[in-house]
Structure 1
Amino acid sequence: MLWLTWRQHRMQVLVTTALLAAIGVTLLINGLGAADFAARNTQAAIDCASAPGTDACAVYTGGMMEWMWSVGEIFGWLPLLAPALIGAFWGAPLLGREFERGTHQLAWTQSVSRSRWLAAKVGGLGFLVTLGGLALGGAVSAWLAVFDSAEFPVNFLSQSWFRLVGIVPAAWWLFAFVLGVAMGAAFRRTVPAMALTLAICAGLFFGLRTVQPMYANPQLAVQTTVVNDVVPDDVLTLNLYWIDRNGSVLTGPDMDLALARPCGTDPTAAKYDECSFKQGYRQVTVFQPADRFWRFQWTETGILLIAAAVVGGVTVRRALRPRI
C-alpha cells in the first residue's frame, strides 16, 4: 500500500517538497544577508540599546526592516494559501477522485480492506503533510531568529508571523488535508470538494485570526509619563485609549476637547503628550505579552487537531460504510 500511495501521489509530494526547498533557500540567502548587515553595523545596534533616537540606530533598524520585508511581503498570504492548497490538492482528490471515477469499487474489493486502505492513504499522506508544516515552521522560525534581538525584537504573536512559525503550520496543514479528504468523501466529486475546502479553510483562518488575541485574558499597562515605556516592542497590542483621573474612558473627540485649552489642538506637537499627562490623563495599553507565544501556539494547535479528529472520524465512518 505504501508503494501504491507513493505512485499515485508522488506529484503532490514532489511539488510540495520543491516549493518548501525553494522557500528554505530563499530564507537562507536572505538570512545570511541580514546577518552580514548586522555584523557590519554592530556599533549602530549598540546605539539602539543606549540611544534609540540616534541616526545610526535609525539606519540599523531601517536596514534590518528592509531585509526582513523583502522576503516577508512575498510570504504575506502563505499562512492561508499553504494549508488551503494542501487541502485542495492533497486531501480533496484522495477519496473524491476514487468515487468520481468509480475506482474505489475495484480498490476496495481486493485483498486490502477499506480500513487498511484508508489507514495507509490518509495516515501516510497525513504524516507527510504534518512534516511539511513542521519544516515550514522550523525554517521561518530560524530565519526570524536572525533578526530577533533586543535592538530589533520580532513580534512572534503578530498576525504576520504567528501562523508561519512553531507548530501551528503543521496543525493547519494537517487539518486542511483531513478537511479535503472529508469533502471528497461527502461530495464524491473532486472539483466541488476542492472549492468547498478552500472556502472553509479561508473562513476558519479569518475566524481564528479574529479570536486569537482572546486565547488568554489580556493585560493592561498604564502610562503616566512620556518617557515611561510601559510595554516592550514585541507584545501583541490589542487596544490603546486614554482615561481621566476618575478612570473614565475617553473617546478621541472627548480627549481632543478636554485638552484643547491647556495643551492645544495639535496631537503631533512635541509637548502635547507631556501636557496630557500633566493634566492627569493616562494612556492605557491592552496587550498580550510575548511570553504567551507557546500558550497561544498550543491553543490554536489544539483547536485544529480537535476539529481534524472530528472531521476525520466522520469521514472514516462514511467511507467504511457501504453505500446502498
Structure 2
Amino acid sequence: MVVEEGVNLRALNSFALPAVARRMVRIRSEADVRRVLDDPAIGRLPRLVLGGGSNLVFTRDPAGVVLKVEVAGMRLLQANDDAWIVEAGAGESWHALVEWTLAQDWPGLENLALIPGTVGAAPVQNIGAYGVELTDRFESLDAVDLVTGRTVTLDRAACRFGYRDSVFKGALAGKSLITRVRLRLPRPWVPVLGYQDLERRVAETGITAPDARTIFDWVCAIRRDKLPDPAEIGNAGSFFKNPVVTAEQCRDIIGRDPHVVHYPLPDGSFKLAAGWLIDACGWKGKSIGHAGVHDRQALVLVNRGEASGAEVLTLARAIQESVYGRFGIRLEPEPAVV
C-alpha cells in the first residue's frame, strides 16, 4: 500500500475546484481497503471515498485520508435466456462500460451514455437519463464495510434506490466503499423512447424503430449539445434535482405560469424541470465571482476560471432562494459538498 501525501485534487474533480488531500491511497482491490483499515497510522482517520469526482463540490481540503477507487475490470458473468449479467469494477468509467456492452451486442445501457463518473458512483446517485435509471438495470454490488473490513453483497432492495438517491447517501454514507457492480441487461431488448428529446429525434429522422447503437448516438449528441464538457469548463453536470410535486402544486404553478415544463409520474405526482425554473428566474449565463450558470443549460453550474467551492455554494443558494421566492419550491442540490 502506497500512501501519497499532499495530492492536488483539482484534476480529480470535474468542477476543477481547489483542494489538497493530505493523504491519499489508490484502492484497486478489497485487500487495499483492509490494508488502510489495519494501518495504525491512517486506519482511524476520517475517510473520503473518491471515484471520478464528478459529483463533488470541494469547499475545503478533505480531512484524514482520501480513498481513490480504481478497481478495474469488465466481464460477462452470465448469459441467461432473459438477461445478460455483466460486472464492472467500481473504478471503471461509466461511459466506457456503456460503450463496451454495446460493442459486445449487449444493449440496455444506451440511454445512460455519456454520464460522467465511475461505475462505483452510479449506484450511489442512482444515475438516470432519458427514461432509464440505474435501478432499472441493477442486479447487485459488492462493497467493503469501512468499519469491519468485510465484503458485503447488496441487492436492489438493500440499496434502497430513489430518485437520485440510495442507501449510500443515507444509512451507509461514509460507511462503505463499493468495489464491483453487476448489471442486468434484459433480453429481449426493448428500446426506451418515451423521453421528449428522443421522440423528437424519431420524428426528425423518421427512424421509428432505432437500434441500441442509434439511441446511443442520439443520446450522446443531445448531451453534447446541452451540457458542457468538464474537460473544457469545470462542472458537475446537473447541479439540482428536478423537483417532484403533487398534482395540486403543479396545477397551482401552471396557473401562475402556464409555460412551466412538467412531466406526469406513474403515482400521480409531477416532475418539474429544474433548469426551466432556474431559467425563468433569469439565472442563465449569470455569475457570482468565478462561478456561473451555463449559457445554454441553466441546470448546470460552471467554473469560469478560478472558482472556489464557496463561490459555487453562494451561487447555488442564491438560485435556491430565487426559485423558492417565485415558485415556492426548494431546489435540492445533487452533488455532495465536502
* CA radius of gyration, larger in: 1
Q: TM-score, normalised by structure 1?
A: 0.27
Structure with bigger strand share is: 2
RCO greater where, 1 or 2, for CA within 8 Å and sep 6 or more?
Answer: 1
Structure with bigger helix share is: 1
